[in-house]
Structure 1
């Protein structure tokens, strides 16, 4: 049956167009029940033995996905109307719902009601799209009542009006709460998963009176309607931007808006007005007399351990630290840093302040928030369903109120909670319990927390993905050997140089002398795209994951292990497929010519950086691999100097290395990672390959090449570092990468060997983040990579662990005529989504790795209180931020004295000189300046509810009463 659907739409040019589409209706669509004799059993999922089938509406699909994922909910019919609307409103929830429907162990069936002759409905005159969709779902429920007689059909909806209409039409209907309450005897946990409609009245329906409790007073202002926001933005009264919340205070943040030169400071609970980090908000500026100076205090010591937050502290603590902690640093609170980029103030030092008046786009996580319950009185734990306060592990998120029957069992657990709503009459957002993660402080539990917090996908690869992987054992085939487009390079003395224990080896190198006196240098990269075909299940999964994630004790792969550790890995002594870049160079590293080719290689050695360095340094060794390494190292020195002369930055990162117990994987030792000359050698070769390939693919595909750029930092980003250096007589000029490089080279103190590295570490944090992009999306001037001082750059050398490199390999194959470029790589909107996801996943992988370092640092120091030297990298009026070079630890130290423990107030007042970066005690007995060395104690403390935290305290320096200064 053919049906025509007509509607009007407005084009991007503003023209109104009438669109008529053919809509085919069928009557042979299966109901999906094993009870039905007419339907195809091959597609059936609904059990014959089930007494009840559940039909869900869009409301439940969108808002109760955690509820649906519980195994107690099954034999569920998902109308295609629900899937379509869910996809339109929330892609993340849609994917979870699709996975439920696809899971073989779950009984979720998608019924194509929009294509069935008996269940398709047209919109009545004056009927809204939502009302039409609700009616379509009720018609589906009625159809099932006729199709499978004898089976109870239940419409599950949290919309009170939809339930009322369903019951008037003879359909059995219930809310998720009613459904859960009816089953709490056998599945008590189901009640906890019910979406909270409002705090204070958990039985209130979403559709009832807007979900408000009329007995409570309003705490927040109502958000403006979208129509009012649009008018305000056009008139310039409102400003749109994304809210970035202070890492230690959920009621202080900044909004960057294209309509304002300065960032807008949002301070206090009322002005934040229920906005979350990442929300796109509409902001109204406060009168200038209400603008304020940003805090120069460290966050309170309680803030370092987010779970110790009291209600009073959360309401009144508006302090925050605005400096960023660098990658690889073991921090006091794993996974968090100390704020964001520097802010701009007016000439008086006051900052533009505003208030949130509307939410344009919510950023509540569909995956939920990790944390724990605030301890409550034992007698209250025995009261059945009780209201509890949940404290997220990340302090930038506010406390969340949930209702649960399991409070006693969950009190010492990390749990996952989802947010449902935040009403104007509720101090806190309301949410629901999703699941327990494990005991607080347990290594596996805390690792699971950091994985969830950073949105890392750890799900096993599907059967469809594994089906794309060649069977093991795998070897190079005769077809590969006879391929005219693949060079046989197995005779070359190729080797790999990697960290110890590396199994996913995706690059190898060689260098040999040519008959004409020149050199041939080769970089050989695993030929992942030979196995990873476009638009396959494995390719789609790799695009979603985008990167391999490296934790201290674990690797979370982008691709299945048979590929990463065997088939693609360039292991020693086996033939492997590669994508090679070969340069002919003069002995002075001048490139004569280069070639890019598919190849077959056989690595002669898989070396660690230490082993390669040992070979180079041992003058008794003259084998081909060693001589290759020596000559390549010599060339790398020349290339490195040439880049430095062009303005490339030589920065430093306080990367931490752990020695782990082979059985428990607990840390046995921790220290700064040692960088050898072989590290720099490999880096230079990879940079050369990446730059060479970037030029090649951009020339061939100027509008769709996948490149990587590093935006030039603004002068404001270096202000604090310039002040710190000026205070100790060092001049820093960041106007260009070259002037900055020269400044860093001259930033030395003869009596302080670590000073230069400290400055380089701090300079790293002043820079913007490098990002992936499509060449056609920005001007050529914006291609530049500031840190590397190169006009063009990409990632080609790690396709086993980065999806960006996979895309670059496909571009390169097309550029040299080996393959046709896949259609989706010229689709601008699709590629923008892929590139955005790559940047998001890359950032998350960095944060997860950093959090893992912090977690293992906490475990290491649990029974090892230690004293060590630290360097001051920031001074504040109430404390310092210090860096401990020996362990790579960074964190706050507060100005308190032990007199507090003896009845005194424990406060030591300090004055901060912002120009000289000096903090002086008001009594003149103490003075601290950036870059000073202090001695600190490092220990782990247990706080309220058995929460552990790493504590740094000053051991050096006395106040005038002779009491040592310590962290409170």
Structure 2
């Protein structure tokens, strides 16, 4: 047994009382030669927050000492949450006065001051900072006579950073800078720092997105060592590879992607079989042939864990020689792949499959637009151009319908949210924002990738091999109860006994489809869900109603896919030794954790760039009027979503004609005197009044037409409550919704 595991096991015993280093070394019979290693293990566990040291230098488990270790998430209003390392433990609310110098993202230990009572969150105080997350901070420099300071762009950083005059370099007021922290904050004292990089003047072309890249510490360039390694990769496929792989170059297959895609990592082939079944091939770029374990490419890919897509640029996981070159399944050239070839019957069941190393040559590089025009619009010109592929596309559509029906029948939740497509001009200025169409071709590829992911995950699960799964745990019970109560007030009933099945949730989505409350119900349901992540344990994917699931189809841009390709290839080429299985166990644990963390960072960065450009777009449209739908209601106002997917806030202070009270149960704002009501899903007309680009905030006001309408509908279920006096007026403080705000 490893020493760390032995120490933890000992400390978990009921009789254990905190001991110092010497006492522990005696218990474990550590001699002089072993003491240094033992001490290092204890220090390492303390740094990780697995164990803690009290004031008497004695060690114990945090949970046995009334303490919690984890990562701190700070809200822009100053309070925060400690997200515990123990996943089963509830988050701990940290008031702003109890931060004690901790900053957003820090690994910390908190003392629990109040346990959960009647729905109120557990509350605590930061007592120790284990590891600082913000070694450098992005912000705007402000100069004064004897010193300067940097105002952080990330509003979750609550401090301005003091800059001594000799450490400001050439920075001038208004410069976007990177500051390195030289002295951490303490109670009533701001942090100090030194300017290490000047990006340019705030507002200059390209600085806005560059600032976000720096803020999230996304790597702009590959290290020289990695670029040199990539440059030396042999592009020509060796005769040995052709000989040992399954040759699929004569199989008709295509890639189907967006017009702008350059990293083409999946191709599909299809064949109608004489017995009425379909033979579907999903052929994925064999990135691991070039990215071998622990080579410079692999180490850098694991560090990045994902490609990041920021409207007008991509920060790739792999150098472009691989992502856009030898790994990309470009048309009419030989490429190495890992193929999952499935036989699927008329009910959508995969009755047979094989996973093989292969060599392919794609027939065409198709786009979603062109395939959709062929299938939906019967575009004569395109049908003529791709006449030899048209029947394949029709077979793909047939199989898509079968697979999609099967998935929805078993209860998979199909959210139909419109994503936005942001179009920039040559100066990086947003000129148009519109919903991104999820057409039939997009859905065909999505469905084919889903069935391949499930097939591979189930295949590898039964081999009992260490693996990286994509998991989605059951929804938070408290949030789901809130969702059920809300839809009940809309007239929808959702049943569940001891546990909820995704089928029940999908039924609700089907019932609201096409109705004005569809977006609202879908959004609230999504907020009730857990976040999907990577894990070594196969616990299933709730949203997809899938017992087995992994990410197999995008190794160019996702590290988990690359990692499992490596495992699959080892397994099908002779199996794994016990030693290798033991080694892989720790590898998949780390890569799962690292990939989940980097995925969240990438999503935050992508969302912030989108929010920035949406705010910039609306800043040119002050005074313009639109019609939208109320997408969220809070104690301080309501958010309205426009047809182009942009959201803005109508603050409660801007609602004229009455005082409005927040009804949490019905997610509505109701006038005290007039009983006028604004509720989720209601259509309203708004005028754009203000945009704060720095904070990515857009403000609306209801048009005079809406204000003059004194006869706003009062929904029947609430009308009766109001008459009978059941409705209780209350004003919710913003802090009562702090958990949702942070998430």
Question: TM class by shorter-chain length?
Answer: 0.7 to 0.9
Contact 1:934 1:954 in 2 (8 A): no
Q: Kindly indicate whether residue 398 of structure 2 is the aligned counterpart of residue 634 of structure 1.
A: yes
Matched residue, 2:457: 694
Pairwise CA distance, 1:634: 0.9
Pairwise CA distance, 1:890: 2.8
**2:105 aligned to which of 261, 278, 285:** 278
**Per-residue deviation, residues 842-885 of structure 1 (Å, max 9, x unmatched):** 1111111111211222333342334322322332232113322x
Distance change (3 Å), C-alpha of 1:564 and 1:261: closer
Matched residue, 2:140: 372
Matched residue, 2:124: 354
Matched residue, 1:744: 509
Pairwise CA distance, 1:533: 1.5
Distance change (3 Å), C-alpha of 1:577 and 1:893: same
Matched residue, 1:954: 701
**1:553 aligned to which of 309, 312, 323:** 312
Distance change (3 Å), C-alpha of 1:250 and 1:434: farther
Q: Could you tell which deviates more after superposition, 947-956 or 626-635?
A: 947-956
Pairwise CA distance, 1:598: 1.5
Counterpart of 1:614 in 2: which secondary structure? helix
Contact 1:710 1:786 in 2 (8 A): yes
Matched residue, 2:435: 672
Matched residue, 1:534: 293
Contact 2:257 2:368 in 1 (8 A): yes
**1:808 aligned to which of 564, 568, 580:** 564
Number of aligned residue pairs: give it: 670
Distance change (3 Å), C-alpha of 1:246 and 1:278: closer
**2:645 aligned to which of 881, 885, 888:** 888
**Equivalent residue runs for 1:812-891 within 5 Å:** 812-817=568-573, 823=580, 826-865=583-622, 866-884=624-642, 886-891=643-648
The separation in 2 between residues aligned to 1:674 and 1:445, in whole angstroms, is 30
Pairwise CA distance, 1:371: 2.0
Distance change (3 Å), C-alpha of 1:909 and 1:282: farther
**Equivalent residue runs for 1:645-664 within 5 Å:** 645-661=409-425, 663-664=426-427
Pairwise CA distance, 1:941: 4.2
The separation in 2 between residues aligned to 1:693 and 1:839, in whole angstroms, is 20
Matched residue, 2:219: 457
Pairwise CA distance, 1:241: 3.6
Matched residue, 1:16: 29
**1:266 aligned to which of 86, 94, 107:** 94
**1:761 aligned to which of 503, 523, 529:** 523
Distance change (3 Å), C-alpha of 1:363 and 1:425: closer
Contact 1:253 1:266 in 2 (8 A): yes
Pairwise CA distance, 1:808: 0.9
Contact 1:572 1:605 in 2 (8 A): yes
**Per-residue deviation, residues 70-118 of structure 1 (Å, max 9, x unmatched):** xxxxxxxxxxxxxxxx999999xxxxxxxxxxxxxxxxxxxxxxxxxxx
The separation in 2 between residues aligned to 1:953 and 1:19, in whole angstroms, is 71
Distance change (3 Å), C-alpha of 1:737 and 1:235: closer
The separation in 1 between residues aligned to 2:349 and 2:588, in whole angstroms, is 36
The separation in 2 between residues aligned to 1:568 and 1:948, in whole angstroms, is 39
The separation in 2 between residues aligned to 1:236 and 1:890, in whole angstroms, is 46
Matched residue, 1:242: 70
Distance change (3 Å), C-alpha of 1:941 and 1:688: closer
Counterpart of 1:564 in 2: which secondary structure? helix
The separation in 2 between residues aligned to 1:13 and 1:739, in whole angstroms, is 57
The separation in 2 between residues aligned to 1:754 and 1:696, in whole angstroms, is 42
The separation in 2 between residues aligned to 1:873 and 1:346, in whole angstroms, is 31
Contact 1:647 1:737 in 2 (8 A): yes
The separation in 2 between residues aligned to 1:420 and 1:617, in whole angstroms, is 61
Counterpart of 1:428 in 2: which secondary structure? coil
Matched residue, 2:667: 917
**Per-residue deviation, residues 454-500 of structure 1 (Å, max 9, x unmatched):** 2322223423443245568x44443333x13x122122220111112
Contact 2:105 2:134 in 1 (8 A): no
The separation in 2 between residues aligned to 1:601 and 1:391, in whole angstroms, is 54
If the length of structure 2 is used for normalisation, what is the TM-score?
0.81
Contact 1:387 1:403 in 2 (8 A): yes
Q: Kindly indicate whether residue 219 of structure 2 is the aligned counterpart of residue 392 of structure 1.
A: no
Distance change (3 Å), C-alpha of 1:833 and 1:928: same
Distance change (3 Å), C-alpha of 1:578 and 1:387: closer
**Per-residue deviation, residues 125-151 of structure 1 (Å, max 9, x unmatched):** xxxxxxxxxxxxxxxxxxxxxxxxxxx
Contact 1:696 1:812 in 2 (8 A): no
Contact 2:560 2:595 in 1 (8 A): yes
**Per-residue deviation, residues 730-764 of structure 1 (Å, max 9, x unmatched):** 3345722121111221234xxx6453244223322
Contact 1:824 1:830 in 2 (8 A): no
**Equivalent residue runs for 1:15-54 within 5 Å:** 15-18=28-31, 20=33
Contact 1:938 1:950 in 2 (8 A): no
**Equivalent residue runs for 1:187-198 within 5 Å:** none
Distance change (3 Å), C-alpha of 1:641 and 1:449: same
**Per-residue deviation, residues 515-564 of structure 1 (Å, max 9, x unmatched):** 55543211111111121122211111111111111110001111111111
The separation in 1 between residues aligned to 2:45 and 2:365, in whole angstroms, is 50
The separation in 2 between residues aligned to 1:14 and 1:937, in whole angstroms, is 72
Q: Could you tell which deviates more after superposition, 429-438 or 394-403?
A: 429-438
Q: Could you tell which deviates more after superposition, 527-536 or 906-915?
A: 906-915
Counterpart of 2:492 in 1: which secondary structure? coil
Distance change (3 Å), C-alpha of 1:227 and 1:432: same
Matched residue, 2:714: none
**2:685 aligned to which of 935, 938, 944:** 935
The separation in 1 between residues aligned to 2:565 and 2:86, in whole angstroms, is 36
The separation in 1 between residues aligned to 2:238 and 2:73, in whole angstroms, is 55
Contact 1:926 1:959 in 2 (8 A): no
The separation in 2 between residues aligned to 1:477 and 1:813, in whole angstroms, is 18
Contact 2:171 2:195 in 1 (8 A): no
Matched residue, 2:329: 570
**Equivalent residue runs for 1:766-781 within 5 Å:** 766-775=528-537
Distance change (3 Å), C-alpha of 1:425 and 1:245: closer
Counterpart of 1:20 in 2: which secondary structure? helix
Unaligned runs of 5+ in 1: 1-7, 24-85, 92-223, 289-344, 899-905, 964-968
Contact 1:771 1:839 in 2 (8 A): yes
Contact 2:689 2:701 in 1 (8 A): no
If the length of structure 1 is used for normalisation, what is the TM-score?
0.63
The separation in 1 between residues aligned to 2:56 and 2:122, in whole angstroms, is 23
Matched residue, 2:740: none
The separation in 1 between residues aligned to 2:587 and 2:55, in whole angstroms, is 30
Matched residue, 1:251: 79
The separation in 2 between residues aligned to 1:725 and 1:410, in whole angstroms, is 54
Pairwise CA distance, 1:10: 8.7
